[in-house]
A and B are shown apart, each in its own frame.
Chain A
Amino acid sequence: MAGIIDELRELEDSIIRCMKCGTCQAVCPLYRKDLVEPSVARGKIALIESVYEGRLEKAGDILKHLEYCVLCGRCRQNCPSDVKTDEIFLKARAVLKKIKKMPGWQKGLLGFVMDHPEQVTKLLPFIHVCLRIGSRRVGDDVLRPLMPLMSERNVVSVKKEPFVRKYKGLNYAENERMRVLYYPGCSVNYVYTNWGKAVVETLKYFGVSVYVPEVVRCCGIPAATMGDIELYRKMVNLNFDYFAAIGTDYVITSCPTCEYGLKEMGGRETKRESPFRIVDILVFLDEVLKIDFTMPFDKKISLHLPCHYDCTHSDLPGRFLQRHFSSNYIPLENTDCCGFGGTFSLKYYRNSKEIALAKAVELRDKRIDTLFIACPGCAMHLTDAVVSAGCETGVLNPIEVLYEGIRKGSGHSSLHC
C-alpha cells in the first residue's frame, strides 16, 4: 500500500498546479450531465491528492471515479493552469489497478486479443454470423442485437473478412510518386472495412502506393485506458518496430485515437522518437499531397470533430469538407465529445449514450443528411445514437465520399506536388 501511495505522490508536481478554479466544469461532458464534482477533473485531482496526503484511507475506492471519464481531453485543453489531466488520470489508473486488479478473465482476454490478432481474425466469420443471426436489421449495415443486455444498442456490423485480407502488401499506384504505409487499426480492419478501401484507392488515384500490414496489431489504447500501461507500451513498441522495419516516411491512419496512441502519447510513454511521420489521411491529402479536387455532394452536411483528432489540425476536417464537397455545410452548435471513450462506453453505456443523444437530437432538428466523422469510434457511437433518436442522418467518413467521387469520375481535379 505504501508503494502505491508513493507512486501516486510522483504525480504531485503535476497535480499541485491545479488551483481548483473549477473551469473544467464548463467543458466536461460528464459534469455537464451529472452536475457533481466526482465527474469532473477538479474532483478527480482532489481525490488523488487526498490519497497521497493521507486524508483518504482506501485508495482503491477512488478508482471508480477515475475510470468514470471519457478521456476526451477537454479539461486539459481548457485548463488555465495547464494541468495535464489526461496523463495524470491514466497514470493514476495504472497505479490503482495494482490494488483493484482487473478480473483475471478480462486481463487474459485483453492480453490474448492484443497478442494474437491473427486468432481474432479467424473468429471474424463466427462473430459476423452470430451478430447477423442474433440481431434485427435497423439500418444500412446497422444491427440491433436481441440479447437482453445489448438490446439498447445499434451496432455497426462486424465484417466476415478483415480489411487487410484483400489489401495486405503493397498496393501499387500507376504513376507512383510516393510510397506510404497505412495503419488501419482494429475498427477499420474489422468494422469499417470500406474506409480502408477508400483510403487505399484514393491514395492510389493520387499516385501514392500504399503498403498495408498483413496483420494489424492494436495501438494499445484500450489497455492504457483499462490501466494496463505496460501492455500499452508493449503494443506501441511492437508497432514502432514494425513501421521502422518497413522503412516508410509516412504512416497513414484513419483513426484519430490510434494516431494519438501511437504518436503523441506513444512517443511520451515509450520515449521513442519515430523516424516516420504518423498522419491522418485527411491531413495527408490536404497538406502533403495538397490535392485539388472538388465534387458535387448535394446534401445538407455537418461535422463531428473527434476528441483525439490531431490538435494542431483541429480546423482541418471542417475545411476539408468545404474545400472538396460543394454542398450545404451547417456547423453543429453542440461541439461536445460524442461520449464514446472506447472502453468507457462498455462500462458506462447509458451515460455514454446520453451524451451522444444530445448531439443526435440536434442532427434530427436541423435535418442534417450526412454527418461526417473521421473517427471509427465516434462513427459507431453516433450511428447508434442517430438510430435511437429516430433521425435520418447518415454517418460517413469524408474519405468514403471522396472515393465515390473519384470512382464515378464526378469530381474535377488537378494534381500538385
Chain B
Amino acid sequence: MLRKSTVGKFREILGGNNCWDSPEDVICYSYDAAYEEPVPPDIVVKPGNYDQIGKIIGLCAEENIPLVIRGAGTNLSGGTVPLSGGCVLLTTGLNRIIEFNTEDLYAVVQAGVITAELALEAEKHGLFYPPDPASMKVSTIGGNVAENAGGLRGLKYGVTKDYLMGVRFYDVEGNLVIGGGKTVKQATGFNLPGLMVSSEGLLGVMVEFILRVIPKPESSKSLMVVYSDIIRACETVAEIIASRIFPATLEILDNFTIKAVREAVKTEFPTDADALLLIEIDGHPEVVNEEFDRILKICNSFNGVVRVANSESERDKVWEARRMALSSLSRLRPTVILEDATVPRSKVPAMMKAIQEISAKHDITIGTFGHAGDGNLHPTIITDKRDRDEMGRVKKGIDEIFHAALKLDGTLTGEHGIGFLKAGYLEGELGAGTINFMKKLKQGVDSKNILNPHKMNL
C-alpha cells in the first residue's frame, strides 16, 4: 500500500485521469498472458510524455517503489507481473510513429506503437518490417524489444534484435540515455541497443526506438507437406537448411495440433497425418522457382506428400490454419502453457523425440507446433490449473523439456523471455559466473533494485 501523500505526488505528475490506485483498477494489471498467480500493483500510471516519465522514475527511486513497465501485457513469462507491488507504468499512451524514412530505410517509433501498425506503415511505403510475433496485432514495439520478440520469419529474417538500430531510455536516476542511431555502421561507446534487447525492463525505461526496415520481397510461394512420421518431417527441415535454402517460414504442426485445428476451424486438414510442414519461400521470382523445385525433391526423399497452395485463397487457408494452432489447442482444456525452448535447428528431430517421451512419461498432453526452421518449437501443454496432481506432473514435464533443450545445446527461451517463470532455470543454462555478472550490472545501474525487481532472479 502506498501512502496517501505518495499517491498525491503521482497525481500531481499525471493529472487525475491517467493514474489509478483503487483495487478494481489495479487488479487489471496483476497478470500477463502466462499462467502464474496474479499480483496487483499499488498504482498504475499512463504517462503521455517523456517529462512525466522522468518524474515518475524520480518519485519511485526516492520512495523505493518498484517500477514495472508494461505495454500490451501479452508477454508469456510473467515479466510484467508486479511481484512486489509498486507502480506499473503503461507505455500505451506513447504510440506515435515519429519518423518513417524511406531513403535511409528506418523508422523512429515510440514504445507503445503496436507492431502490426509499424508493419502496415512499412507496407504502405513498399517496405517490410519482418518480426511478426503471433501477438503482433496488439503487442507493442517496446515489449518486442524488451523480450526480443521473434515470430514466424526468424530463420531468414531474424528477430527484433536484428532490426534495432537505436534506443532512447531513461535510467533509474531519470537521465536520458541514447544508444545507437540512424547510421548502418556505428562504433560509438557501448552497444546499448544490444544491451537493452531482452532486458525485460530491468535496466531502464525505454521510450523510443530506431528500427531498420528492408525492401519487400518481390514474390513468394507457399506449400504444405504431409508426413506419416513426424521425425521424417523434422529431418526434412534439417536437410532443407543443410542444402543452403532459407525459406521465409518453415513451420511444423504435430498430429495432436492438426486434429485440434481441424476441430476448431473445420478446415480440410489431413488428420491422419502425423505431421505437417508449412513452408513459404520468397524473393526474386526466378530464385523462388528454383528453390521451390529443390524443396520438392527434398520433401519427396523424406516421404512427404506435397500440396501446393496455388491461389491466394489456398495460401491464406494454409497460414490461417497455422495461426489458429495455439488457440485451437487452448479450446480443449482450461489452462494452456506455451513453452518456447529452442535448439540448434539440426537438433529439431532429437528435441521432438524428447518432447514425445516427456509427454508419455508424465501422462500430460502436449501439442507441439512451431518455428521448426529456426529450432524454436512451441511444446504447448494443455491442462487445468485447478487439478493439483496434474499440475505437479506438468511442472516436472516443463523441467524436463528445459533440460532436454539445454542438453541439445539449446536455450530455455527463443522468444518469450525469462520473466520469473523461467528464472529458476537461468543458471542451468548460463552458469554462476554469468548470473554474477548480470547481478553486478543490475546493481551498477539500479542499486536500489527499483526496475522490475525479482525478474530473472535479480
- Interface, chain A (partner B; CB < 8 A): 16-17, 19-23, 25-26, 35-38, 43, 46-47, 50, 55-58, 61-62, 64-65, 80-82
Partner of B90, one of A36, A46, A62: A36
Interchain CA distance A23-B33 in the complex, whole Å: 10
Residues of A within 8 A of B32 (CB): 20
Interchain CA distance A15-B384 in the complex, whole Å: 13
Residues of B within 8 A of A38 (CB): 24-25, 28
Residues of B within 8 A of A25 (CB): 72, 138
CB of B330 within 8 A of CB of A50, answer no
Interchain CA distance A354-B137 in the complex, whole Å: 22
> Which parts of B76-91 form the interface with A (CB within 8 Å)?
90
CB of A47 within 8 A of CB of B38, answer no
Residues of B within 8 A of A22 (CB): 33, 72-74, 135, 138
Partner of A80, one of B35, B92, B330, B334: B330
Residues of B within 8 A of A19 (CB): 33, 35, 330, 335-336
CB of B27 within 8 A of CB of A55, answer yes
CB of A37 within 8 A of CB of B326, answer no
Residues of B within 8 A of A58 (CB): 23-24
Scoring B residues 8 to 34 as 1 if CB is less than 8 Å from chain A, else 0, what string do you get? 000000000000101111011111111
Tell whether A23 pairs with B137 under 8 Å between CB atoms, given A17-B330, A35-B90, A46-B28. Answer: yes
Residues of B within 8 A of A55 (CB): 27, 30, 38, 40
Known: A21-B135, A26-B137, A36-B92. 17 other contacts (CB 8 A): A16-B384, A17-B331, A19-B33, A20-B31, A20-B33, A22-B33, A22-B72, A25-B72, A35-B90, A35-B92, A36-B46, A43-B28, A46-B27, A46-B30, A58-B23, A61-B22, A61-B24
A-B contact pairs, 28 of them (CB 8 A): A16-B384, A19-B330, A21-B327, A22-B33, A22-B135, A23-B137, A23-B138, A25-B72, A26-B116, A35-B46, A35-B92, A36-B28, A36-B46, A36-B92, A38-B25, A38-B28, A43-B28, A46-B28, A46-B30, A50-B38, A55-B30, A56-B24, A62-B24, A64-B24, A65-B28, A80-B324, A80-B326, A81-B331
Tell whether A56 pairs with B74 under 8 Å between CB atoms, given A22-B138, A35-B46, A50-B38. Answer: no
Interchain CA distance A43-B35 in the complex, whole Å: 15
Chain A nearest CB from B39 CB (Å) reads 10
Interchain CA distance A62-B28 in the complex, whole Å: 11
Interchain CA distance A56-B73 in the complex, whole Å: 21
CB of A16 within 8 A of CB of B334, answer yes
Tell me the nearest residue of chain A to B137, going by C-beta. A26
Residues of B within 8 A of A56 (CB): 23-24, 27
Tell me the nearest residue of chain A to B385, going by C-beta. A16
Chain A nearest CB from B425 CB (Å) reads 22
Tell me the nearest residue of chain B to A15, going by C-beta. B334
> Which parts of B267-307 form the interface with A (CB within 8 Å)?
none
5 closest A-B pairs by CB: A80-B327, A35-B92, A37-B28, A43-B28, A16-B334
Residues of A within 8 A of B46 (CB): 35-36
Q: Is B228 an interface residue (CB 8 A)?
A: no
CB of A46 within 8 A of CB of B31, answer yes
Scoring B residues 33 to 53 as 1 if CB is less than 8 Å from chain A, else 0, what string do you get? 111001010001010000000
Chain A nearest CB from B116 CB (Å) reads 8
Interchain CA distance A16-B333 in the complex, whole Å: 9
Interchain CA distance A50-B38 in the complex, whole Å: 9
Interchain CA distance A58-B327 in the complex, whole Å: 33
Chain A nearest CB from B113 CB (Å) reads 12
Task: From A21, A38, A61, A62, name the one whose CB has the most chain B CB atoms within 10 angstroms.
Answer: A21
Interchain CA distance A26-B264 in the complex, whole Å: 21
Interchain CA distance A35-B96 in the complex, whole Å: 13
Scoring B residues 46 to 79 as 1 if CB is less than 8 Å from chain A, else 0, what string do you get? 1000000000000000000000000011100000
Chain A nearest CB from B450 CB (Å) reads 23
Residues of A within 8 A of B386 (CB): 16
Tell me the nearest residue of chain B to A35, going by C-beta. B92
Task: From B25, B29, B34, name the one whose CB has the most chain A CB atoms within 10 angstroms.
Answer: B25
Chain B nearest CB from A312 CB (Å) reads 15
Interchain CA distance A19-B31 in the complex, whole Å: 11
Chain A nearest CB from B401 CB (Å) reads 19
Chain B nearest CB from A390 CB (Å) reads 27
Chain A nearest CB from B279 CB (Å) reads 24
Q: Is B93 an interface residue (CB 8 A)?
A: yes
Partner of A21, one of B74, B264, B384: B74
CB of B92 within 8 A of CB of A47, answer no
> Which parts of B117-150 form the interface with A (CB within 8 Å)?
135, 137-138
Residues of B within 8 A of A16 (CB): 334-335, 384, 386
Tell whether A81 pairs with B28 under 8 Å between CB atoms, given A21-B135, A22-B72, A35-B92. Answer: no
Scoring B residues 414 to 448 as 1 if CB is less than 8 Å from chain A, else 0, what string do you get? 00000000000000000000000000000000000
Q: Is B95 an interface residue (CB 8 A)?
A: yes
Interchain CA distance A47-B30 in the complex, whole Å: 10
CB of A47 within 8 A of CB of B27, answer yes
> Which parts of B161-184 form the interface with A (CB within 8 Å)?
none
